[in-house]
Structure 1
Amino acid sequence: MADEELEVLNRFCKELYESVNQEARLQAERNLQEWSNSPEWLRLSTMLLERGNVPYGPLVASNTLLKLLSNKTSINTEQRLELSRFVLNQLGMRAQSLPPYVVTSLCQLFCRVTKIEWIHMDESQQFPFKEPIESIIKSISLENSAESLLALQILSLLIAEMNSAVGMESITKHRKTSSTFRDAYLFSIYESTVSHLKDAATKSNLQSYYPVLMALLDLNLNCLLFDFIGSLADETSEDNYNVQVPTVWRSAFTDGTVIKLMTQLYITLPEKFTEKIMGILVQLASIRRTLFNGGERQTYLEELVVGTKMIMDNPGKLSDQGTFHEFCRLVARLKANFQLCELIKVEEYKPMIRLLAEFTVQSLRMVDFSPNSTYYLLCFWHRMVTSVPYIRTQDEHQLEVYCPEIVSAFVESRIAYVEKVVTEGVDDPIDDHGSLLQIFEQIISIIRCDYEKTYRLLIAHFDENAPIYQNGNDNDVSTRIAHGRLVWVVTLMGTAIFGKSTSSNNDEHDKMDGEMLSRVIRLMQLNDSRLEFPSSHNADPGRGSVRMEYAFMHVLENFRRGYIMDQVCRTSAIYEKLQQQLNIADESDILGVIVQKIITNLKFWATNERILELTLALLKDLSLGYTAVRKLFRLPDIQLLLNNHTSEHFSFLGTGTSLRSMKFRTTFYEALTRLLTTGEDLNDDDEVFTRFIAPLNQTMRQIVDAFNSGGVDQTQLQCAIIGMCRDVRGIATACTTKGLYQILFDWLYPEMFEVMQKAMETWPEKAEVTTPILRFLGELCQNRQQRLKFEMTSCSAVLLFREVSKIIVAYGNRLLALAEVPKDDVYRLRFKNMGICFFILKSCLVGAYVPFGVFRLYGDTSLQDSLDMFVKFFLAIPEADFPSYTKISTSYYHLLEAVCTDCMPFVSRLDPNVFAAILRSVQSGVMSIDPTVITSACSSLDLILNFLYKKLTRSLGSSSVGIEPDGDGCIMAVKNHPDLLSELLSATMSALMFGEVKCQWSMSRPLLGLILLQEECYTSFKTEVFAQQPPEKRDHFRMAFDSLMDGIERNLTVKNKDAFTQNLAKFRRDIVEIVKGDYVPSSTLNSM
């Protein structure tokens, strides 16, 4: 029977990988899927691993086991232990005969089993899954190549597994597993790699050790990449990144010998090793500063500087793109982790900084070669320059010597590259807006080191290319080259002008900015005069240059950020040059020029989303300035804009534009409303406001008539509603006073709410319609600056909530009745709007403007209906997927906190299964990595536990007058699911004891309630913790746990919780010291 089964399985495996017939492959996959779901899958898998045809049999078996391993019901711990030993045995016997990818799959299977059961303790108080690791570490040797390679591969994959939560049943278990592995084995693994690499460095014939050396370097790097504190940080982020190695690792780094070793290996080994070695050096340069004392840190830095200089003295291997990129990251980390004053003290600083400047200049000139890497070099120079004010004036940093050379190289190389872009058609780096803005953020400060030199350079290139561009034929190669170069020059001028805000006032620099800005404005006005209206609806204007428009907007935005400020100060010297060149005498004049450009762009570039976005963002930013907005309001062009904002004047306000372009209408109307209300000092003058919204009022009437008459083009009607909601949302955002908001609400109620409700009922499946409506409601419900605190005689707040409730309930009922959608579209078409509904309801509950208590008194079900829909939406989102939708989960936890604060009786009456699902979501939130989610989840849990404790301990018959009656759903849920609170207790305690907690205070508040409600579980947890510790530490743990509850009473008053929070802080410190071996009992200290 077994042989027959094996033959069938081998055939399926072969068909899956080798068949050229797609149907045969699909059928084989289905057959193997059925096999994996059978009760015999473990026996069949091990048989296929051992006797299956190589390579497909073992590969399929291994991959299948990996997928099914995390299913707790499919295989028990004993079977997993047998599987672990079986796989390790197979690797030992067959690793050399199996293909590498099969060996990798088997190693990963072993590591996954080991990780999942890492903290399992058998009856003899041993950890059987940990036992093989020690022998694997000891089997590493330079001489025994085959066995060493296998051991190194297993350990590398094991570290990668321990860094990942894949396959783990909870984030709590993952963190506990990861931390115990870190404390028990990671350092010994790292020391072993360093020891063997030192031995290898002394060998005369290294070539025979190359495979083992590569594996050793890989394992060494994985050790340093380990997530030491469970922060799940993104290592690709260079800002303030540190390798948080534990204090017990100090001895491995303080003398800097490991840097010498890596530098020596870099020089000695061939190019295929250098990227890996450089990656290790990057991590070594990122070791947290607090690991060293002052002298040790300086010694360590000296070795890094010497090593960096040695690499630049031998630049041949930097021609490899990967090595070059890692070296640039190494340079950036030098300044990110160390201070300029420390670098200057290093003996080799001057030759190193000279070589580094030369290297940077050469790198900038190689535009094609690893363009993303130069960002890190510029990061280094930016941080160096910004640190100069914090060092003594006599310190010779030499930045004033090298920074101008770097700026010159950057400018010249980009301008020279334009010819290649035009003649050869290669990509222009200026089109990569994201990367370009990152680079400009770094180069701003470098430019200002010798601003006059930068100014002369930019002016020279502008004056050389502007005449060619202005007078040449658009199709000539020389004109196109001049155009491309001008785009770069104008963009760089904008970047240089913004540098003013990061440096001290300097009249000479302001005059230079004036010269550059004058040239840009003349060119901009010339460009605008050439524009021809688009020949078709979706076309750009004739003779228009998209790149040049981006450059102009970059200049204007940076000028605004640097020179248009609310602070009352002297007139800048920039206007001296502007008046000489363009007769622009003051801020009002330049605002007039900017507004003219904004209007031109809105007329000519309405179909270009990027230009439209940049233009309206500039208008909005100008409207936010207290002083500037009053000057703007007095401009004739702004008055024209305030009185003519229809689709006849600006095509992007019509229904024929793209849905993506429509989203910018919110920004447009927000800016216009702010200009109107702030410039006019409008508060309760409804006549002025009514005139302003007259075009929108007409549109609303047309929409109402269209709904009532029927027979209207549905697409046009949908677009009209989308545009209307986006427009009015912008107006609502700017209405931040009670008087303005009341005028707005009086206009909207009831017609606009009726329109929105009809739209939601008619097109619940059209997310492009429903999302703008919900976003608008979300804005209306936000109590910005207490704008919704109406007079006591006003019922506007109640009316608002009733309308919002009706819309959400009507939409929700129809949405939940729709057919399912493909998984790829479920977020966009379903879940996204549910998240917005969570946000709306949260805003209503926390805004403190609706007297919810009277709803029940007068039989109004608006609140109850809204909360019921909140629960339905929550249940509609799969529990497993919930944490992956970041925005939705954030809104959910904030709403849940508000519901638990004000509507706990509603929560208590929920179905026990629903309440259990909410508690599970709370546990997920408490274990989140997002501080805001943790805070809201902990607050919700604390409120729930307070309610449960009060309900279980209070005397019968006690109640509060006018308060909604409680239910017993929560009590039943806890009784039906006793593991819910116990898992929360265990997870919270484990995180506080062994994890890196971001919100200790928040997590401490519900913990006391968990302990008091489950004293038996708390005792069991303590017993388990004691059993897992080495015998010499158990008494210390007992003392720490005793001190945790010292002086704590059996109640959940705020005073008692405060005392518990203080005890918990000490408890955490004690646990950390016990784990490190530094713990000194209080009694010992007292006796001293």
Structure 2
Amino acid sequence: MHLQQEVEPETLKLVGQPVLTSRATSYAQLLAATCLSKLVTRISPLPVEQRIDIRNYILNYVATQPKLAPFVLQALIQVIAKLTKLGWFEVQKDEFLFRDIITNVQKFLQGTVEHCITGVMILSELTQEMNLVDYSRPSAKHRKIATSFRDTSLKDILVLACSLLKEILGKPLNLQDQSQQNLVMQVLKLVLNCLTFDFIGSSADESVDDLCTVQIPAPWRTLFLEPETLDLFFNLYHSLPPLLSQLVLSCLVQFASTRRSLFSSSERAKYLSNLIKGVKRILENPQGLSDPGNYHEFCRFLARLKTNYQLGELVMVEEYPEVIRLIADFTITSLQHWEFAPNSVHYLLTLWQRMVASVPFVKSTQPHLLDTYAPEITKAFITSRLESVAIVVRDHLDDPLDDTATVFQQLEQLCTVSRCEYEKTCTLLIQLFDQNAQNYQELRHSASGITVDMAIQEGRLAWLIYLVGTVLGGRLTYTSTDEHDAMDGELSCRVFQLISLMDTGLPRHSNEKIELALLWFLDQFRKTYVGDQLQRNSKSYLSQPKDLHLLSPLATPTCSGSHMKT
């Protein structure tokens, strides 16, 4: 480390060139590249002539050494990118000295496949470097360089990458050839780096994925309006193996996130229509979605559609009825296979949550069909979670209930969806709760003690308690009626009766999962039906069951219709 920090300009001759030109090991070459990187990024910059010499030497070196180890090639390309960024505004005789990088790369693109890969990697690394904030230097200078790069070169790089993809797609692909596969991968990474560029200097937190809108510059508008651009990536998705098609979907996520203000109303409708056609094509040929990476990116893609487009715009698309049916089927299948890519379900639930929440604001006369499909989504979530319990217990798998953070997140998303056609959801929950509570009561009275059946039944009851709390919480997010309040009372009563039943068996029959679920339910009930904003005439407060003394008369729900024995 001390050697790298104390390196002087002469190190280029003493260390860099001799090591690179000799038959040194790859690790010695990496050390030389690292020394050069430290040299060119010093706070006190080298003379411009020396920096130009270093850049030209490395460009010539990587062009004449096609068999370099990947990590050595990457390290040398990073030196080129750093030199270009730091010298972006260097001028000599009214000519920018370091901005001819695209011209230099064109020479690589006209060579062999290996040379083409190197050229694409240079552009990709440069795009990343321009987007990377160097906190050892003034942020204003970084932003000035990044903005200039965005305005003068980034669009040209994207157009060049898309033209390379068109050439690749237009030729017979031999993906058994590792070089060709690597070329496609590098070009797709280049496109993705262009589309994820920090266009407005927001330095947005990457963890806030769902709220992301890509601030595409106005001069890029014509490129995005061309139907061939989206068609290119959808065609690539269907032509490439999963390792590469995942990158294609990542690019499509960015296309779906393009800021609304880039287009006029008619242009936006046309652009959305092309996106929806692509979604339909993928769902009609879902073989690629069996890959977890593709599946995850496609779920992100669907969620981004609703993030950037209103439900009223979606229903106006000609293919909407067929596409919403396909998305519903895809979601139901995903929920039923709960063990497959569980982290991706978040995006599907986000899609349906936002769709259902938008229903009151839709002014279009076109049917949104959510009253048909939202109850099916809710039913699939409920039944799949109950069915998962037996598999988890008997096969000793990781219990989803143990990941409370994910459970709470999914339930908060489901609460809005569950209130759409609430009668259907309530009827299902009542039926399942009565059946499982009766089974639980019978097992408690049996002489077998703690058994696998008891563990399964307790897991199912825990899920049902969570779900009852969830649908109660949905009252605050969706339009409710007196009839809905009465249904909430029917469900709440069953949980309170279960509490009473469990209290009689403490501590012998205590269960941590059920107790955590009860805390969730009580919290949701408190938020919804207890407090200063409570409507005292709510139908959930019609009567006080004679066997319950857990709540004050003010906050005790009706028990009409309950069949649970206490």
Aligned counterpart, 1:223: 194
Aligned counterpart, 2:467: 492
Deviations 1:260-294 (A, max 9, x none): 11111111223332101111111100111100001
Deviations 1:380-411 (A, max 9, x none): 11111111111137321111111111111111
Q: 1:589 to 1:440 in 2, by over 3 A?
A: closer
Q: How does 1:14-93 map to 2 (within 5 A)?
A: 33-34=2-3, 36-37=5-6, 39=8, 41-46=11-16, 47-51=18-22, 53-67=24-38, 69-73=40-44, 75-93=46-64
Q: How far apart are residue 529 of structure 1 and its match?
A: 4.3
Name the structure, 1 or 2, with higher relative contact order (CA <8 Å, separation 6+): 2
Deviations 1:858-909 (A, max 9, x none): xxxxxxxxxxxxxxxxxxxxxxxxxxxxxxxxxxxxxxxxxxxxxxxxxxxx
Q: How does 1:609-624 map to 2 (within 5 A)?
A: none
Aligned counterpart, 1:156: 124
- Letter aligned with residue 509 of structure 1: H
- Letter aligned with residue 169 of structure 1: R
Q: How far apart are residue 127 of structure 1 and its match?
A: 2.3
Distance 1:476 1:405 in 2: 33
Aligned match for 2:395, one of 424, 436, 449: 424
Distance 1:474 1:429 in 2: 25
Q: Which has the larger radius of gyration?
A: 1
On the 8 A contact 1:491/1:551 being kept in 2, the answer is yes
Does 1:187 pair with 2:120?
no
Distance 1:393 1:92 in 2: 59
Distance 1:386 1:168 in 2: 46
Does 1:140 pair with 2:109?
yes
Aligned match for 1:448, one of 419, 427, 435: 419
Does 1:550 pair with 2:548?
no
Q: 1:244 to 1:437 in 2, by over 3 A?
A: same
Q: 1:439 to 1:138 in 2, by over 3 A?
A: farther
Distance 1:104 1:37 in 2: 23
- Letter aligned with residue 149 of structure 1: I
Aligned counterpart, 1:111: 81
Q: How far apart are residue 195 of structure 1 and its match?
A: 1.9
On the 8 A contact 1:468/1:478 being kept in 2, the answer is no
Q: 1:568 to 1:507 in 2, by over 3 A?
A: closer
- Letter aligned with residue 311 of structure 2: L
Q: 1:91 to 1:577 in 2, by over 3 A?
A: farther
- Letter aligned with residue 520 of structure 1: V
Distance 1:293 1:132 in 2: 35
Deviations 1:162-211 (A, max 9, x none): 11113751211111111111111100010111122223333245546543
On the 8 A contact 1:116/1:167 being kept in 2, the answer is no
Deviations 1:820-860 (A, max 9, x none): xxxxxxxxxxxxxxxxxxxxxxxxxxxxxxxxxxxxxxxxx
Does 1:402 pair with 2:373?
yes
On the 8 A contact 2:63/2:108 being kept in 1, the answer is no
Distance 1:42 1:523 in 2: 78
Aligned match for 1:504, one of 466, 479, 488: 479
- Letter aligned with residue 111 of structure 1: A
Distance 2:513 2:245 in 1: 40
- Letter aligned with residue 164 of structure 1: L
Q: How does 1:879-958 map to 2 (within 5 A)?
A: none
Aligned counterpart, 1:1000: none
Aligned counterpart, 2:491: 516
Does 1:564 pair with 2:530?
yes
Q: How far apart are residue 146 of structure 1 and its match?
A: 2.0
Deviations 1:305-358 (A, max 9, x none): 000000011111111110000000010011111111111111111111111110
Q: How does 1:548-697 map to 2 (within 5 A)?
A: 548-567=514-533, 569-576=535-542, 578-579=544-545, 582=548, 588-590=554-556
On the 8 A contact 1:116/1:168 being kept in 2, the answer is no
- Letter aligned with residue 188 of structure 2: L
If the length of structure 1 is used for normalisation, what is the TM-score? 0.48
Distance 2:99 2:172 in 1: 37
Distance 1:312 1:555 in 2: 37
Aligned counterpart, 2:96: 127
- Letter aligned with residue 153 of structure 1: M
Aligned match for 2:453, one of 475, 478, 498: 478
Q: How far apart are residue 568 of structure 1 and its match?
A: 6.7
Q: How does 1:366-385 map to 2 (within 5 A)?
A: 366-385=337-356
SS in 1 for 2:538: coil
Deviations 1:400-428 (A, max 9, x none): 11111111111111111111221122111
Distance 1:167 1:580 in 2: 68
On the 8 A contact 1:54/1:98 being kept in 2, the answer is no
Count of matched residue pairs: 548
Distance 1:319 1:110 in 2: 40
Q: 1:241 to 1:34 in 2, by over 3 A?
A: closer
- Letter aligned with residue 116 of structure 2: S
Distance 1:379 1:587 in 2: 38
SS in 1 for 2:96: coil
Q: How does 1:449-464 map to 2 (within 5 A)?
A: 449-464=420-435
Aligned match for 1:389, one of 360, 366, 369: 360
Q: How far apart are residue 52 of structure 1 and its match?
A: 5.7
Distance 1:544 1:69 in 2: 66
Distance 2:439 2:116 in 1: 67
- Letter aligned with residue 159 of structure 1: T
Distance 1:144 1:63 in 2: 27
- Letter aligned with residue 282 of structure 1: V
Q: 1:581 to 1:108 in 2, by over 3 A?
A: farther
User: Structure 2 regions of 5+ residues with no counterpart?
Assistant: 558-566
- Letter aligned with residue 575 of structure 1: Y
Q: How far apart are residue 504 of structure 1 and its match?
A: 2.6
Aligned counterpart, 1:938: none
- Letter aligned with residue 470 of structure 2: T
On the 8 A contact 1:197/1:213 being kept in 2, the answer is yes
Q: 1:394 to 1:584 in 2, by over 3 A?
A: farther
Q: How far apart are residue 445 of structure 1 and its match?
A: 1.1
Aligned counterpart, 2:438: 467
Q: How far apart are residue 245 of structure 1 and its match?
A: 1.0
Aligned match for 2:321, one of 321, 339, 350: 350
- Letter aligned with residue 80 of structure 2: F
Deviations 1:116-137 (A, max 9, x none): 2222334x23321222333314
On the 8 A contact 1:511/1:577 being kept in 2, the answer is no
Does 1:98 pair with 2:98?
no
User: Structure 1 regions of 5+ residues with no counterpart?
Assistant: 1-31, 533-541, 592-1088
On the 8 A contact 1:70/1:167 being kept in 2, the answer is no
Aligned counterpart, 1:281: 252
Q: 1:581 to 1:70 in 2, by over 3 A?
A: farther
Q: How does 1:646-1045 map to 2 (within 5 A)?
A: none
Deviations 1:764-785 (A, max 9, x none): xxxxxxxxxxxxxxxxxxxxxx
RMSD: 2.4
On the 8 A contact 1:50/1:58 being kept in 2, the answer is no
On the 8 A contact 2:7/2:39 being kept in 1, the answer is no
Distance 2:479 2:536 in 1: 14
Q: How far apart are residue 67 of structure 1 and its match?
A: 4.6
User: Which range moved further: 224-233 or 59-68?
Assistant: 59-68
Distance 1:156 1:168 in 2: 23
